[in-house]
Structure 1
Amino acid sequence: MASPKTEWALAELFESWAGVPPDLILPLAPSGSDRIYYRLQKNDKVAIGTYSPHAKESLAFLNFSKHFHERKLPVPAIYAENLDAKVYLQEDLGSTTLYSFLLQNQHHFPDSLVQLYKKVVEKLAHLQINGSKELQYTYCFPKESFDRESMFWDFNYFKYHFLLPSQVGFDEVALEKDFHQLADFLLQADNEYFMFRDFQSRNILIRNGNPYFIDYQGGRKGALQYDLASLLYQAKANIPNDIRESLIQHYLDTASQLTNIDRDSFLSYFYGYVLMRNIQVLGAYGYRGIYERKAHFLLSIPYGLKNIQWLLEEGKIPIALPEITRCLQAIIKSQKYDPYDKSKGENSLLKVFVNSFSYHKRQIPVESSGNGGGFVFDCRFLHNPGRYEPYKKLSGKDESVINFLKHFSDMEPFLNNVYRIVDAAVENYLERSFTHLEINFGCTGGQHRSVYAADQLTAHLKDKYGIDITLNHLEQSNWSKEN
């Protein structure tokens, strides 16, 4: 969590750049790292302020950004920096990501989205090839290239954070042999280009129909195939296979205009890099989901396994990797990570009622079925945005309040614990054909913390179980009137 000193440092940096102090400093949605982002604004002067505790990572991002921007590549401009205070300002490219377009089209992939992806792969080729020229790779963090050691970091992450907790037995010697085989094979590909490392839809912003890239501070020298594999086989993107194939060819059309590329050679390594990326992703999902118990990552594991299953069934893995293959097939066959069958919830008689309420204005809501029971979660121990003037007239539905709760409170681990408790009850109730479950979230005013928690649980239960849910914010008519 950043301190008030961080916001003061960003305000001073903004004033030195804009010539006026900001009258708006609001935290933005957290990333997957410990960097914290703010939007700072005064009239028409707007910037994204970043707090980053890692000096080497910041130096990598700042130097890469300046280099790419000078070459007119689609990245944010850097406005100002104060690395002693661990802050810098960059261009505000908006908040619409490519991932948001995927969410809007979850059950189909329209031509408009295909055209957008074509723009993305074109710009990617330019970034990787033209952006690599004269780039100072000495700033790379933690390594200058995606070499054997880097690959084994990912292999070990996969082994210890996904295979082991998945309780699939493996032959350690045979598995290590496969890791060496795969690394040997992949390192034969041309690896003299800029590799973004985490090139996926959340790191691609769309402004005026054009893509811009962010969060490339982990970039290094590597093969072209890795980033394209990361984009087209992103776990939750669910891109149809025929569209993937056409996008690979479109990428190669552009890349071939920028450097000499042997298409057959490129494709011979491509699916090996798809496997490599999915191994890395499953390791990350295992750590975040299984060890840290973050529900979002657990729910993402089936999508990663779906990509692996396709590779196996289509015979796309380019070399023999018997132990890796056996382990992955065993996990898929076990159905350990298969999503809950939503048809059970959609066709059940279970009705769930989720309420937010104020401890100051009422007693705990009475359970409406007459059977008693249910859950009451007290949110008052969480840091309260309602104590601060900018948030007093807002609610837990407002973006700035949501970002405050994500950044400056323990809301995320609290909700992960709530999910585990409530999920167990819901699955039990569905099996026993129960018809009623009531869940209450209370906070001081029933306006910020309890509202956000109730909204999040409702979305979680709908997405996972498809059950009938009624959401009530019992203090909504009084929001802002008493603050």
Structure 2
Amino acid sequence: MIHSHFGKEQIMKIEPLAQAGSSRKYFRIFLQNNQTFIVCENANVAENRTYFYLTSIFKKHQIKVPTIFYISENEQQYILEDLGSESLLDYVLKNKEEELQEIVYRQAIDGLIHIQTKVGSDIDYSRCFAAKSFDENAVIADFYYCKYYFLDIHGLQYDKQNFQNEIESFAREIIDHESSNFMYRDFQGRNMMLKNGQPYFIDFQGGMKGPLQYDIASLLWQAKANLSSRFKEKLYNYYFEKLSKIIPINKVEFHNKYAKIVLLRLLQVLGAYGLRGIIEQKHHFVSSIPFALKNLEEWYHQFYESIATYPTIRQIILQLLSTELKEKYSTNELKATSKLNVIVQSFSFKKGLPEDTSGNGGGYVFDCRGILNPGRFDEYKKLTGREQKVIDFLETKTKIKEFLYHIQKVISISIEDYIQRDFENLIISFGCTGGQHRSVYCADQIGKFIKEHYPVQIEVKHIVQDANNWIIN
């Protein structure tokens, strides 16, 4: 789809972007005229249709979201406006002055209020992919998400029946079936990109009808942002004051519900970190756990009275705040950031080993020629290791997944050691006969693996294909 839409001769470079928690794949396309675009590949057509629909509604109401330029016939690929690489969270982590942070947070909150009060009534919620509304079942599901992927794997002790009874009562307290407000569901700093100093909203396909407090809780209590208590309160007051000028709000009821929804969000996030970080071993999720536990401790000191009638939930929180658990995630973990720069590259053995640009001797070189070459077959000769047909061939007809599994284990030893010792460079090279199929696939896959697991700077290069502008003669 990419080559047919843009034209092979127009494409200078195709760069895979790091995946987060979803199965969607994103690529940045560089054209000869210096334009760039984002391409999304997602086999879940129902989810894509929700995204297309919500984008049209947001655009109608002048909400800043990326423009969709093209949708493939099967609705599994689409081309988006490139908003750049700096998210709101990136900006906040880079600019520690609260005065600078407040500017972008206020812009984000203004956009959120616009979405909640102007857009929600215009949405047909039957077209939402995840669910029509955030109801009692969704609340209970979030509690169980935390239970299975964080509480239970850490061996916390609590009465299961009392837990069930309490979360059902908790759900009834916070759900308002009369609400018609749109709930973004994951309104946090990674899902806002800054373009020309303005936040643009992305990743809203999981949205549904739900309580107003959920999204502002998600934004202000994002673990990695690590906002101070005073700053969170200041931004929350800004949100409440602006919102209350637009719609009538009972202040006491709204604040009480906000306290409970913050707790729900914090526990749901711990479940996500447990699944993505501990079970799937994606390091950047694990590195957020100390911040999430710090948030939970802050919440307890500020809002503990809101769970006075929920003794089992209170018991669980106190176990989560135990010294043992906090020490587990404050020591013996990799640094949240590092100096390490990793280059992962593909090359052709016919043209010789790649040049060492780091001065450290070149790092790892892996020979992919033991994997069956798709280039032996006519239907793959004009394709590369980034084409889905080639990917399917390699993943179903060869042992390439086993090959990469062992490589992941080997390189992880060096990456983790290099991070701890503040080393700055590592090169990982994959060679095959022509630098077109197997080595390209392996370099891309290992690049994604490193991005998902380690806090390093990474560059993926394809020596043969980049030189040819990805045009196969």
Q: Give TM-score scaled by structure 1 length.
A: 0.72
8 Å CA contact 1:225, 1:269 repeated in 2 = yes
| Residues 322 and 414 of structure 1: CA distance in aligned 2, closer, same or farther (over 3 Å) | farther
Name the residue aligned to 2:106: 118
Which blocks of at least 5 consecutive residues in structure 1 are unaligned? Answer: 1-5, 15-19, 345-351, 366-374, 392-399, 431-435, 464-470
8 Å CA contact 2:259, 2:303 repeated in 1 = no
AA aligned opposite 1:49: V
AA aligned opposite 2:2: E
Name the residue aligned to 2:228: 240
AA aligned opposite 1:102: V
**How far does residue 75 in structure 1 lie from its aligned partner after superposition?**
1.6
Name the residue aligned to 2:284: 296
Name the residue aligned to 2:360: none
**How far does residue 22 in structure 1 lie from its aligned partner after superposition?**
7.7
Q: Which of 319, 322, 328 is 2:317 aligned to?
A: 328
In structure 2, how many angstroms separate the alpha carbons of the residues matched to 1:147 and 1:459? 32
Deviation string 1:298-343 (CA, Å, 9 cap, x unpaired) is 2221111111111112334513322222223223312354222799
In structure 1, how many angstroms separate the alpha carbons of the residues matched to 2:417 and 2:149? 27
8 Å CA contact 2:281, 2:453 repeated in 1 = no
Name the residue aligned to 1:88: 78
AA aligned opposite 1:271: A
| Residues 59 and 412 of structure 1: CA distance in aligned 2, closer, same or farther (over 3 Å) | farther
**How far does residue 283 in structure 1 lie from its aligned partner after superposition?**
0.8
| Residues 459 and 123 of structure 1: CA distance in aligned 2, closer, same or farther (over 3 Å) | closer
| Residues 297 and 343 of structure 1: CA distance in aligned 2, closer, same or farther (over 3 Å) | closer
Name the residue aligned to 2:172: 184
AA aligned opposite 2:124: Q
8 Å CA contact 2:307, 2:314 repeated in 1 = no
AA aligned opposite 2:134: F
Q: Which of 122, 131, 135 is 1:143 aligned to?
A: 131
| Residues 248 and 462 of structure 1: CA distance in aligned 2, closer, same or farther (over 3 Å) | closer
Q: Please give the secondary structure, in 1, of the residue aligned with 2:331.
A: coil
Q: Please give the secondary structure, in 2, of the residue aligned with 1:286.
A: helix
**How far does residue 125 in structure 1 lie from its aligned partner after superposition?**
0.6
- For the pair 1:23 / 2:10, whether they are aligned, the reply is yes
In structure 2, how many angstroms separate the alpha carbons of the residues matched to 1:154 and 1:413? 32
In structure 2, how many angstroms separate the alpha carbons of the residues matched to 1:461 and 1:21? 33
Name the residue aligned to 2:182: 194
Q: Please give the secondary structure, in 2, of the residue aligned with 1:38.
A: strand
AA aligned opposite 1:23: Q
In structure 2, how many angstroms separate the alpha carbons of the residues matched to 1:90 and 1:343? 35
In structure 2, how many angstroms separate the alpha carbons of the residues matched to 1:195 and 1:287? 23
| Residues 241 and 440 of structure 1: CA distance in aligned 2, closer, same or farther (over 3 Å) | same
- For the pair 1:7 / 2:2, whether they are aligned, the reply is yes
AA aligned opposite 2:83: L
In structure 1, how many angstroms separate the alpha carbons of the residues matched to 2:137 and 2:179? 15
In structure 2, how many angstroms separate the alpha carbons of the residues matched to 1:46 and 1:425? 36
In structure 2, how many angstroms separate the alpha carbons of the residues matched to 1:227 and 1:216? 11
Q: Which of 169, 176, 185 is 2:157 aligned to?
A: 169
- For the pair 1:339 / 2:330, whether they are aligned, the reply is yes
Deviation string 1:389-447 (CA, Å, 9 cap, x unpaired) is 999xxxxxxxx9xxxx9xx99799778745875699799x99xxxxx9x9985644999
Name the residue aligned to 1:220: 208
**How far does residue 256 in structure 1 lie from its aligned partner after superposition?**
2.2
Deviation string 1:75-111 (CA, Å, 9 cap, x unpaired) is 2233332352412233333332112102313xx3331
8 Å CA contact 1:203, 1:215 repeated in 2 = yes
AA aligned opposite 1:225: Q
AA aligned opposite 1:338: Y
**How far does residue 230 in structure 1 lie from its aligned partner after superposition?**
0.3
| Residues 272 and 189 of structure 1: CA distance in aligned 2, closer, same or farther (over 3 Å) | farther
8 Å CA contact 2:287, 2:333 repeated in 1 = no
Name the residue aligned to 2:38: 48
Q: Give TM-score scaled by structure 2 length.
A: 0.73
Number of equivalent positions: 428
1:367-378 to 2 correspondences below 5 Å: 378=366
AA aligned opposite 1:288: R
8 Å CA contact 1:196, 1:220 repeated in 2 = yes
Name the residue aligned to 2:359: none
| Residues 462 and 286 of structure 1: CA distance in aligned 2, closer, same or farther (over 3 Å) | closer
| Residues 241 and 133 of structure 1: CA distance in aligned 2, closer, same or farther (over 3 Å) | same
Name the residue aligned to 1:73: 63
8 Å CA contact 1:301, 1:337 repeated in 2 = no
% same residue: 28
Q: Please give the secondary structure, in 2, of the residue aligned with 1:258.
A: coil
Q: Please give the secondary structure, in 1, of the residue aligned with 2:319.
A: helix
**How far does residue 124 in structure 1 lie from its aligned partner after superposition?**
0.6
**How far does residue 142 in structure 1 lie from its aligned partner after superposition?**
2.0
Name the residue aligned to 2:376: none
| Residues 114 and 439 of structure 1: CA distance in aligned 2, closer, same or farther (over 3 Å) | closer
Which blocks of at least 5 consecutive residues in structure 2 are unaligned? Answer: 357-362, 374-380
In structure 2, how many angstroms separate the alpha carbons of the residues matched to 1:443 and 1:200? 36
| Residues 343 and 140 of structure 1: CA distance in aligned 2, closer, same or farther (over 3 Å) | closer
AA aligned opposite 2:108: V
Deviation string 1:255-312 (CA, Å, 9 cap, x unpaired) is 2233222333221111111111111111111111222122222222111111111111
| Residues 123 and 185 of structure 1: CA distance in aligned 2, closer, same or farther (over 3 Å) | same
- For the pair 1:63 / 2:20, whether they are aligned, the reply is no
Deviation string 1:121-177 (CA, Å, 9 cap, x unpaired) is 111110111111221111111210000111122111111111111111221112112
Name the residue aligned to 2:198: 210
Name the residue aligned to 1:277: 265
In structure 2, how many angstroms separate the alpha carbons of the residues matched to 1:383 and 1:241? 57
| Residues 145 and 452 of structure 1: CA distance in aligned 2, closer, same or farther (over 3 Å) | closer
